Structure 1
Amino acid sequence: MSAGSAGEDLTRRTAAELAELLRAGEVSSVEVTRAHLDRVAAVDPAVHAYLHVNTDEALEDAARVDERRAAGEDLPELAGVPIAVKDVVVTRGQVTTAGSKMLEGWVPPYDASLVTELRRAGMPILGKTNMDEFAMGSSTEHSAFGPTRNPWDLDRIPGGSGGGSAAAVAAGLAPLAIGTDTGGSIRQPAAVTGTVGVKPTYGGVSRYGLIALASSLDQAGPVSRTVLDSALLHEVIGVHDPLDSTSLTDPATGLVAAARSRDLAGMRVGVVTELGGEGYQPGVRAAFDHAVELLRGAGAEVVEVSCPSFDYALAAYYLILPAEASSNLAKFDGMRYGLRVEPADGPVTAETVMAATRGAGFGDEVKRRIILGTHALSAGYYDAYYGSAQKVRTLIQRDFAAAFEQADVLVSPTAPTTAFRFGEKVDDPLAMYLNDVATIPANLAGVPGLSLPSGLSDDGLPAGFQVLAPIREDARLYRVGGVLERMLTEEWGGPILDKAPELEVTA
């Protein structure tokens, strides 16, 4: 993407660069925020990354940061850098829908804990990004409010469920974004849009105020242009939260320093045999293999590891997730908040209102997973399905433990293919689910994962490189990711996003 006016130049800057410009007084937060809002107005009609744009409040928050800086106040590092937030994250005063008609028009009276941290850090919130309904999907085609388009090719998907956050960063509509990752919904969109996405260790970022899909799998994390930017944001949101019983007591530290590492001497990198065979696009695999050789050249010892239970991860995930979803979404009943639809005929009872509301409010993919989950939890099937899936989950956790005895980090392609065209897989749920085959194991085990661009595949679209680390060793992700990104950027002659085609600007 070529830079044009001064405003466009600001929308091409990394968050770290913007933070430096703000500290030096070369630009104001209002200027940076307005530049991004102007680009949203000009470009987002084609991309549809946002469901709600928070123009007035974002500019007011930016002006307050500028006033504090002018008064000599010591501000957090990202103060004044604007951010976009996935619409599954409850945000006070902003419409929050989780991409569903069920919550259309709902304005929460409180902030999710991670939003509280963003506000404390002085980061203006640009708006809420589009997503698959209730985070169920791998393409953002299942949003009740229309799909988001991939900035690299508007006829292709931006990944899912957090396609809106990834597309916003890739298109210069936000320097940073928040995503959530239940089975790859941060990492897979990052892979197909040429951005960086991180799923922290489970419990590393508070889930209080996230509209739950599967509580044992959900995890919020950063989406950014660079590994360093993700590290900066991760340290903002990676704090202990007493409102979340699963929140880790020790905050994320050392991530920024790790992202600035210069070599990988002494690092053992494990290539996972089960994550890269049949079904992987040749160009994706070639980009991955080249990246592995670069890691070897940076001083890493590369070994091959086998995690045989990973072959069953997809099946286990698509029993555990629907089971938890069927429980979490039971609260959308037409009685308490959100959509309420009364039956067209017959008596108006709790049962008929509930049935009419869910029939009208939930999309096909959500209904499919609720039905599957309810069946898996039903009497007579619990042990055969849900119970067996949980046993497989334990085996996957054991495979990770064994693999991390042989290697400090594990690596694989993030997704088997680059972005596919709209409609290619929407009528084939099983084909759609296979997009998450490489990312799902991390969620089942709770380990952290990072995706960064590994290059362009044979179709000219970005491919992703995934790094996995042991629980609470998130800093290892940033060390490996930072070194690899630096080497690849030198090869490419600049950031990979600079190779994306320029988007048409709306007059």
Structure 2
Amino acid sequence: MDYFKNDLSSLHAGLLNKDFSAQELTAETFEQIKARDQKIESFLTLNEQQALAAAKKVDEKGITDADKLAGIPVGIKDNIVTKGLKTTAASKILGNFKPIYDATVMEKLHAAKMINVGKLNLDEFAMGGSTENSAYKITKNAWNQTKVPGGSSGGPAAAVASGQLLAALGTDTGGSIRQPAAFNGIVGVKPTYGRVSRYGVIAFGSSLDQVGPMTRSVKDNALMLSAIAGHDKHDFTTSEREVPDFTAKLDGDIKGMRIGVPKEFMDQGVADDVREAIKNAIKTYEKLGATVEEVSLPYSKYGVPVYYIIASSEASSNLQRYDGIRYGFRADDVKNLEDVYVRSRSEGFGDEVKRRIMLGTFSLSAGTYDAYFKKAAQVRTLICQDFSNVFENYDLILAPTTTSTAFGIGEEINDPVTMYMNDILTIPVNLAGLPGMSLPAGFSNGLPIGMQLIAPQFGEETMYRAGYAFEQATDFYKEVPTIGGEN
């Protein structure tokens, strides 16, 4: 089974026609993972026994035409809890944690009869932009193994890009689906905040986190989002609005669509090759009949400091549950209760997690709350208003996903400020709770360049329509990496 030559629809057709069984497909997927992941290192835990048993059940019950995703393997970012299957968030502090329940998105995938083949690497607690902050391994970029895959969803992105899977779930707090999707030349979507349940997702920034699909094509992505979206009684932040079939309007026709390009997102700091690819994408949209005009998001330049104050504050609150008492890692030879707390956290958390806990705790403290957290929350409102003003006249916003192509492993890991600035183009979308998509828009020196489409809240259908039209007009998504070779 060559995943580079298939999509979810062709796999569904093959299973429906009994060209192969779900068991055969799953077994072959594990063979591919074992062969390719030695170079990529995207998986933390394989779920082989349970996956083959689940595939056997699917075969026994049979697959109908309505079961669009039944019997198809999927990978899961390791901060999404999976019943009975180790979930670490790539942290030593959760090294042996086996959840006793499934996240809501996992229940939805089980209902769709997808086969979970394993858990994928990430930056510890989803804090990072390169997957170098994992406590266990450094995942490599599918196109060049000396480059980072991006983060924090670097494991899912590299697994899909390297042809080990057709689909995976990631999470996006400040760009953690879209940035690695851009670096690996795949499609990654961060849905509207509240479109997908966060129940069972290990919390980082509760007002920012969102689960989303990572796939090789726009249609595959739309299929996946249709399966995982919807209201959840366990998560009061989920929307009650009906989930449409996101594939229904993928016809390539975007005539009359109005697209805004923020001048701030094409400004200094964006590499020439990335800017050129986006200019070419704009020309493609104009040929397809869309109107593309420059717009302004003046407060977006404050996105990075606002995000790192708010996200770190929420993280410091969320991570206080890891105390060495209830579950997770506990330091040995402790003398008293304070020793349990201090040493368990000191030994269990990595440097980046500690950095963000300290930054967040400082921002929330009595003497600094007004100067930092309150002010950041106020500027967040201004960023939201910027987007609202643009969407009064435009259907979508188009921009680069990242300022450059993937950087080298080890190049930026010791410079937190430079690393944080990599998210400058993705962060505003999370702060405003909007849906965003990254899809391939070109290549430079053998590395993919990502284009970002941003829609109004619950505007995923429009975003998918525009993404699909571009994809069909350009075929960048058909390019595949040569694993272990030069691209």
Q: TM-score, normalised by structure 2?
A: 0.98
How far is the alpha carbon of 1:273 from its aligned partner?
1.0
SS across alignment from 1:213:
coil
What displacement does 1:182 show?
0.1
Q: Distance in 2 between matches of 1:100 and 1:309?
A: 34
Maintained 8 Å contact 2:143/2:446: no
Q: Structure 2 residue aligned with 1:476, among 445, 462, 467?
A: 462
Aligned to 1:320: 310
Aligned to 1:216: 207
Post-superposition offset of 1:64? 1.2
1:296-335 pair list within 5 angstroms? 296-335=286-325
Matches for 1:434-473 after TM superposition, within 5 Å: 434-457=421-444, 459-473=445-459
1:53 alignment partner in structure 2:
46
| Preserved CA contact (<8 Å) 1:10 1:18 | no
2 CA distance for matches of 1:378 and 1:65?
53
State the shift of 1:423 in Å: 0.7
Cα distance in 2 for residues equivalent to 1:362 and 1:10: 36
State the Cα distance separating 1:380 from its structure 2 match.
Answer: 1.2
Superposed CA offset, 1:316-345 (max 9, x none): 00100000000000000000000011456x
Q: Does 1:421 align with 2:412?
A: no
Q: Are 2:274 and 1:284 aligned? A: yes
1:14 matches 2:21: no
For 1:276-309, what per-residue CA distance to the aligned partner results, in whole angstroms no more than 9, with x for missing partners?
A: 2111111111111101110111010111110100
Distance in 2 (alpha carbons) for counterparts of 1:256 and 1:74? 15
Does 1:487 pair with 2:464?
no
2:70 alignment counterpart = 79
Shift in Å, 1:252: 2.5
In 2, the alpha carbon distance for the partners of 1:440 and 1:266 equals 29
Q: 1:228 is paired with a residue of what secondary structure?
A: helix
Matched, 1:62 2:55: yes
- Aligned partner (choices 99, 102, 109) of residue 90 of structure 2: 99
- Is structure 2 residue 482 aligned with structure 1 residue 501? yes
Give the residue type in structure 2 aligned to 1:501: T
The answer to whether residue 170 in structure 2 is matched with residue 176 in structure 1 is no
8 Å CA contact 2:252–2:466 kept in 1: the answer is no
Q: Separation in 1 of the partners of 2:429 and 2:3?
A: 35
Q: Which amino acid aligns with 1:469?
A: A
In the TM superposition, 1:326-345 aligns within 5 A as 326-342=316-332
Aligned counterparts of 1:385 and 1:35: Cα–Cα separation in 2: 52
Residue 27 of structure 2 is matched in structure 1 by 34
2:211 partner amino acid: A
CA distance in 1, matches of 2:313, 2:152: 18
2:16 and 2:65 in contact (8 A); partners too: no
Match of 1:4 in 2: none
Question: Which of 241, 263, 266 is residue 253 of structure 2 equivalent to?
Answer: 263
Letter in 1 for 2:417: L
Contact map agreement 2:192 2:434 (CA 8 A) in 1: yes
Q: Is the 8 A contact 2:435 2:460 kept in 1?
A: yes
Taking the aligned partners of 1:24 and 1:303, their CA distance within structure 2 comes to: 47
Q: Where does residue 390 of structure 1 map in the other structure? A: 377
Task: Specify whether residues 388 and 276 from structure 1 end up closer, same or farther in structure 2 by C-alpha distance, changes over 3 A only.
Answer: same
CA spacing shift, 1:301–1:97, aligned 2, 3 Å: same
2:230 maps to amino acid? V
What SS does structure 2 have at the residue aligned with 1:147?
coil
Of 61-70 and 238-247, the range deviating more from structure 2 = 61-70
Deviation at 1:263, TM superposition (A): 1.8
Q: 1:62 to 1:394 in 2, by over 3 A?
A: same
Counterparts of 2:3 and 2:376 in 1: how far apart (Å)?
Answer: 48
Match of 2:228 among 225, 228, 237: 237
CA distance in 2, matches of 1:276, 1:31: 47
In 2, are the aligned partners of 1:448 and 1:472 still within 8 Å (CA)? yes
SS at match of 1:275: helix
Structure 1 runs not aligned, ≥5 long: 1-6
Greater shift after overlay, 377-386 or 19-28?
A: 19-28
Q: Aligned residue pairs: how many?
A: 485
CA distance in 2, matches of 1:12, 1:337: 44
Q: Contact 1:342–1:352 at 8 Å: present in 2 too? A: no
1:11 CA displacement? 5.9
- Matches for 1:100-119 after TM superposition, within 5 Å: 100-119=91-110
Secondary structure at 2:387's aligned position in 1? helix
What amino acid is the match of 1:117? K
Calculate percent identity across the aligned residue pairs: 46
Secondary structure of the structure 2 residue equivalent to 1:256:
coil
Q: CA RMSD in A?
A: 1.3
Q: For the structure 1 residues 94 and 299, does the alpha-carbon distance in structure 2 shift closer, same or farther, using more than 3 Å as the test?
A: same
Q: Corresponding residue for 1:411?
A: 398
User: 1:256 is aligned with what amino acid?
Assistant: T
CA distance in structure 2 between the aligned counterparts of 1:170 and 1:422, rounded to whole angstroms? 18
CA offsets, 1:49-68, max 9 Å, x none? 00001111111111111111
For the 8 Å contact 2:298–2:386, the answer to whether it is kept is: yes
